[in-house]
Structure 1
Amino acid sequence: MPDTTDTESHATASEPQARHILYCGVCSLPPEYCEFGGRVKKCEEWLHKYHPEMHQKLYSDETLAANLSTLSVSARERAAKDAAKKEAKAALAETRESERKASSKVIIRRVERNKRKHVTVICGLEAHGLENKKVAKELGKKFATGSSVTKNASGIEEITVQGDVCEDVVDWLAEVYKTIPEDNVEIVEDKKKKGAS
């Protein structure tokens, strides 16, 4: 009769084991590969703050000295230049993104439907990193009214809220989404043209 304990231990030893992999909170790469993400300094600061043991392993003086000793002088200079270029490129992209957000307008229109019926139409939220569907749902709950996401004639998504809630939406955005500068929120009156009599 064969020994079953040997076959059982052999089966469990060959089964793949789950591994826990740490991902950087800045560039979303494993910390060993942060240098390829372009934001090495920020990645290192994040790692130092949230995972000091991993930071010590990757960025200790001994580790850096050992890594540098394996490179030639020209390779070291090239690596330093490449790192500086990537850092500058990432900083420029971040600056452009913040400038784009700062100049993006959120347009809130009061649209007349029938005689005294109005809807409030909001567009431009996605430029500030907001999801239209999520915001539409929140607006519907906040004002206890119908709220939906539609595409206008230009193909741009906009949120339509039943009722005239323009001023309330401005206040609500300032309160809930503080990332949108108040100067970037604009209210526009949009009346239906009356037919000639």
Structure 2
Amino acid sequence: MPPEYCEFSGTQEKCKLWLKENNEDMYEKIYGDIEGVTEGVQNVAVEENSGNKKDRAVVKDKSAKLDAKLERETRKKMASRVIIKRIERTKRKSVTTIYGLDVFGVDIKKAAKMFANKFACGSSVAKNNQGQDEIVVQGDFTEEVYRMILENWKQVPEENIDKIEEKKKKKAEN
């Protein structure tokens, strides 16, 4: 984010340190004279000792919450799966569905368009039974989709991709 917005983020102290180390001119422009700032902080600390501690605690709480949120998102990504499923429709027709790419930050509409262009077939984004978005590609392209995911989206680990084949149940003959 731009240095001017550091004071509005939850990681104000980290941002100030980074700016002071990397661009001291900008730091002085935004936060004023370094000596004047430290004297002002000391004067405020003498006058309002308890208020200053509260402000620092709020900033620390915000940064801790932000760090915890990022860690939870990372754990969720590593636990989630990308499922490539081949579903048989009629005698020789089938569709391939891809579910779970959106968790890894992939724009599924762009991915559906890429699959349609690559395989010269119909591809769309649809809701599944659970109400979540999935990509539906007309045809059996499980292996090709698997390879394309690994090539184009490096953030998707290979061990998180599952391939499933679902066959239509045959009717009982009377």
Which bracket does the TM-score occupy, shorter chain normalised?
Answer: 0.7 to 0.9
Structure 1 residues 156, 86: closer, same or farther in 2, change over 3 A? same
Q: Which residue does the alignment assign to 1:160?
A: 136
Contact map agreement 2:88 2:94 (CA 8 A) in 1: yes
Give aligned pairs, total.
169
Q: Which residue does the alignment assign to 1:57?
A: 29
Q: CA RMSD in A?
A: 2.5
Q: Which residue does the alignment assign to 1:87?
A: 63
Where in structure 2 are there 5+ consecutive unaligned residues? Answer: none
Q: Which residue does the alignment assign to 1:99?
A: 75
Q: Please give the secondary structure, in 1, of the residue aligned with 2:92.
A: coil
Q: Please give the secondary structure, in 1, of the residue aligned with 2:44.
A: coil
Within the alignment, does 1:75 sit opposite 2:61 as a pair?
Answer: no
1:1-197 map, 5 Å: 24=1, 31-41=3-13, 43-44=15-16, 53-58=25-30, 61-62=34-35, 64-72=37-45, 73-197=49-173
Q: Please give the secondary structure, in 2, of the residue aligned with 1:115.
A: coil
Structure 1 residues 56, 102: closer, same or farther in 2, change over 3 A? farther
CA deviations 1:147-183 (Å, max 9, x no partner) are 1111122211111111111111111111111111111
Query: Aligned equivalents of 1:107 and 1:48: distance in 2?
Result: 46
The sequence identity of aligned pairs, in percent, is 42
Query: Aligned equivalents of 2:112 and 2:43: distance in 1?
Result: 56
Query: Aligned equivalents of 1:36 and 1:83: distance in 2?
Result: 10
Relative contact order (C-alpha < 8 Å, sep 6+): which is higher?
A: 2
Query: Aligned equivalents of 1:67 and 1:169: distance in 2?
Result: 61
* Higher normalized helix content (fraction of residues): 2
Contact map agreement 2:112 2:123 (CA 8 A) in 1: yes
Deviates most, 70-79 or 54-63: 54-63
Structure 1 residues 48, 183: closer, same or farther in 2, change over 3 A? farther
Where in structure 1 are there 5+ consecutive unaligned residues? Answer: 1-23, 26-30
TM (norm. structure 2) is: 0.83
